[in-house]
Structure 1
Amino acid sequence: MNLKNDIEQYIPYDLQEAKEQEVMLKYLSNFDNLLTRENEFAHLTASAWIVNPERTKVLMAYHNIYQSWSWIGGHADGNADLLEVALKETTEETGLVSIAPIMKDIYSLEILGVPSHIKKGNPIATHLHLNVTYLIEANETEETTVKTDENSAIKWMELTEAVEACTEPEMKVVYKKLNDKLKS
């Protein structure tokens, strides 16, 4: 798997994604440490938009740092296979084990601003997440568990409910885009 090639081959959903793809490719060409948090300005992350087989619900977690309902995801931490990262984060953060990518291709691209915060007692500076999203399927009857150091609740929500439950305005835009893509 060649991450840069995958991002180059991705067909953007809209003009915003096209711009973010362009910027991500510039970063990948100019920085050699985007796969780790050693790059404190910007680094790669992977997210999972987890849907039920009918594509009518999405699994959201109540994120402790952002105090908002959120998708599942995390840092690459050196792993260039971001689909693998998204699947690993899904299992770690939700307890789900019967999960599968609906497609192995990238579902969405985002550049996300992360405000300064404290994580595990350490200050984290404002930075960017160069995020790659994958579409993952799970069964909503499978038992979930919270990962208490990251989230405090997990819930299946109707697609529009997931957007409405989020309290971060910039993420509402992302989640709406993911839902719109799902419906098209």
Structure 2
Amino acid sequence: MSLHDDAVLVLKAYGGQEELRQVYLDHLDAHPDGMYKRCGAGHLTSSALVVDPSRGRVLLTLHKKLGMWLQMGGHCEPDDVTVEAAALREATEESGIAGLTLLPGGPVRLDRHPIPAPCHWHLDVQYAALAPVGAVAEISEESLDLRWFGYEEVAGVADTSVVHLLENTLDRL
């Protein structure tokens, strides 16, 4: 099964945000290359909010290009077998934490946001990743900073997309 096919199955099984979910499915139907950055009409991305429930905190990255505190994530790569695997790969690479596990139950949320030309949209499939007890984060080249924030601090540093992702994640914990 291709990554494209996996994304369609994941989205069909996703039980929320019906209108936005259909936008994603329509995009994939119209764009066989819609999983990858080369698709000029936009492309799916995969991300994960790294959560440490034992300490009531989340790990955010200060994105190098955007200058915003965000969850870990990014573009799907040809070696990614599933959208879920892409999210876990991105979270592991950007956090430096080995042993992350995705919260069961599939994506936590979908978020569509505009990006500068030549592409137009990121159609982000958002997961939550559980950090192992005692996890130590290590900054990657893709970040300006990497920091743990208490749940109550997130709204003060991140945009509404991250806040909604955290709310949906906490509903599942």
TM-score bracket relative to the smaller structure: 0.7 to 0.9
Question: Residue by residue, what CA displacement relative to the aligned partner does 1:99-158 show, whole Å, maximum 9, x if unpaired?
Answer: 111215111111121135xxxxxxxx352111101111003632221112x102111101
Q: Report the number of matched residues.
A: 166
Q: C-alpha distance in 2, partners of 1:165/1:177? A: 13
**Residue 75 of structure 2 aligns to which amino acid in structure 1?**
H
Indicate the residue corresponding to 1:87 in structure 2: 88
**Preserved contact between residue 140 and residue 156 of structure 1 (Cα < 8 Å):** no
Structure 1 residue ranges without an equivalent (≥5): 117-124, 167-171
Q: C-alpha distance in 1, partners of 2:129/2:18? A: 23
Indicate the residue corresponding to 2:15 in structure 1: 11
**Preserved contact between residue 100 and residue 129 of structure 2 (Cα < 8 Å):** yes
User: What is the percentage of aligned positions where both structures have the same residue?
Assistant: 23
Q: How does 1:1-184 map to 2 (within 5 A)?
A: 2-12=6-16, 17-54=17-54, 56-78=56-78, 79=80, 81-116=82-117, 125-139=118-132, 141-148=134-141, 150-166=142-158, 172-184=159-171
Structure 2 residue ranges without an equivalent (≥5): none
Q: C-alpha distance in 2, partners of 1:177/1:67? A: 19
Q: 1:29 to 1:80 in 2, by over 3 A?
A: farther
Question: Residue by residue, what CA displacement relative to the aligned partner does 1:23-58 show, whole Å, maximum 9, x if unpaired?
Answer: 111111111001221202211110001111337211
TM-score by length of 2: 0.87
**Residue 140 of structure 2 aligns to which amino acid in structure 1?**
K
TM-score by length of 1: 0.82
Q: CA deviation at 1:64?
A: 1.0
1:28 counterpart SS class: helix
Q: C-alpha distance in 2, partners of 1:38/1:51? A: 31
